[in-house]
Amino acid sequence: MTQKILLTGGAGYIGSHTYVALKAAGYDVVILDNFSNAHHDVIDRLEVITGAPVPVYEGDVLDPAILRKIFTEHEIAGAVHFAAKKAVGESTEIPLDYIETNVSGLVTLLKEMRAAGVFRIVFSSSATVYGEADVVPTPEDSPRSYSSPYAFTKLASEQILEQVAAADDRWAIGILRYFNPAGAHPTGLIGEDPDGIPNNLMPYIAKVAMGDLERLSVFGDDYPTPDGTGVRDYIHVEDLARGHVLSIDALTQTGDSHTVNLGTGQGYSVFDMLKSYERACGQDLAFTVTPRRAGDVPYYIANPDKAKDVLGFAAEMGLDDMCASSWNWISRRKNS
Ligand code: UFG
């Protein structure tokens, strides 16, 4: 029988790509999203990509009533929980909002899942739980810490899930620690589209390429890295989406919980990204080197071995794929 998966935050950047990947893998999927950080036209676009209506509930993961309605109206086999706030800087200004949405939202979902007899969940965590990792590439058993309210909510959520799994062995939980998601769907119909001035590197470069922003600020070129700029493990959102399908598959097949990194194990600098994007958009992009951004670390790279062992996951796409697909998405979106 086809299994049905609830995707909270399914209209967002990673959620929408995961919707497509789950459908392609033969799952039925229901979306819950409050559209606080997603456009409604994402749903129309998902219908174009998948060629079928998209079941969607507009509501909040903090609202038990809408969760109950979904679990009553659908036979849900498991959940992939994306719905969360994710801007590190904003989290330092409104920590309670982050704790409410990210931590209370998870608890609300878990309680409604338990009430409905659904015990399989994949959780969106982040490499941010490693804090300033001593070991890079970073394995999953590295010490965890936090240096922002956002990171605190991800660490607290992981710990809540661990307590829940330890107390009741019906739970099968997949904790996925994302490194730096980038890129867009090859159709150019869905991708990352932050309002205002982006915090993250790729969406910022995309806006420079579009002419919406004048130049990239390169936050420091005096790090102990090959070209002096920060190095990150960028992972194509299509690879990331596939990781969620493999996680759900593994929970179903084994009934065992897992915690894995989703990264490539390969690092790229800010200048690597800028040059790759220049190739993608066919123009030189202006930049200025500015002082380091507070809280940034020189290197952040996944050790991808456990994801390979436990899920059979290995990223397939590289930086040029990420930049080309981002440019395809962003230039089409502007013209559509
Ligand atoms: N950078 C610039 N200029 C910019 C933006 C970024 O030079 O305008 C640099 C940063 O200094 C860093 C690299 O580009 O070296 C990547 O920065 P991002 O902001 O894109 O990503 P981060 O690695 O800082 O943060 C990401 C997520 C966080 C998460 C963190 C650790 O955005 O949510 O990884 O997992 F907490």
Q: Could you tell me if residue 122 is inside a domain?
A: yes
Does the annotation mark 150 as catalytic? yes
- In sequence order, what DSSP letters do the residues of 59-84 get, joined into one string? --TT-HHHHHHHHHHS---EEEE---
| Confidence tier at 174 by pLDDT (50, 70, 90) | very high
Average pLDDT of the chain, as a whole number: 97
Q: Could you tell me if residue 187 is inside a domain?
A: no
Q: Which atom of ligand 1 is nearest to the CA of 273?
A: 14
Q: Which atom of ligand 1 is nearest to the CA of 216?
A: 8
Overall residue count recorded for the chain in this entry: 336
Check 27, 98, 150, 268 and give the catalytic one: 150
Q: Could you tell me if residue 89 is inside a domain?
A: yes
Neighbours of 283 (CB within 10 A): 12
Task: Specify the pLDDT at position 334.
Answer: 72
Check which CATH number belongs to the domain holding 120 and give it. Answer: 3.40.50.720
Q: Could you tell me if residue 291 is inside a domain?
A: no
Task: Specify the pLDDT at position 194.
Answer: 83
Q: Could you tell me if residue 84 is inside a domain?
A: yes
CA dist 141 and 156 (Å) reads 16
Q: Could you tell me if residue 224 is inside a domain?
A: no
- Burial of residue 55, with CB atoms counted within 10 A of its CB: 0-12 exposed, 13-18 middle, 19 or more buried: middle
CA dist 21 and 334 (Å) reads 25
- Those residues whose C-beta lies under 8 Å from the C-beta of residue 120, and which sit 6 or more positions away, are 77, 78, 79, 171, 172, 173, 248, 251, 252
Mean pLDDT of 47-75: 98
Task: Specify the pLDDT at position 277.
Answer: 98
For residue 141, give both structure tokens.
């058993």
- Give the residue whose CA is nearest to atom 6 of ligand 1: 201
The string of pLDDT tens digits covering residues 6-54 is 999 999 999 999 999 999 999 999 999 999 999 999 999 999 999 999 9
Q: Could you tell me if residue 43 is inside a domain?
A: yes
How many structural domains are present in the chain? Answer: 1
| Domain around 44 | 4-182+234-262+304-315
Q: Could you tell me if residue 144 is inside a domain?
A: yes
- Is pTM, for the whole model, over 0.85? yes
Q: Please give the backbone phi and psi of residue 70, each rounded to the nearest 5 degrees, phi first.
A: -65, -45
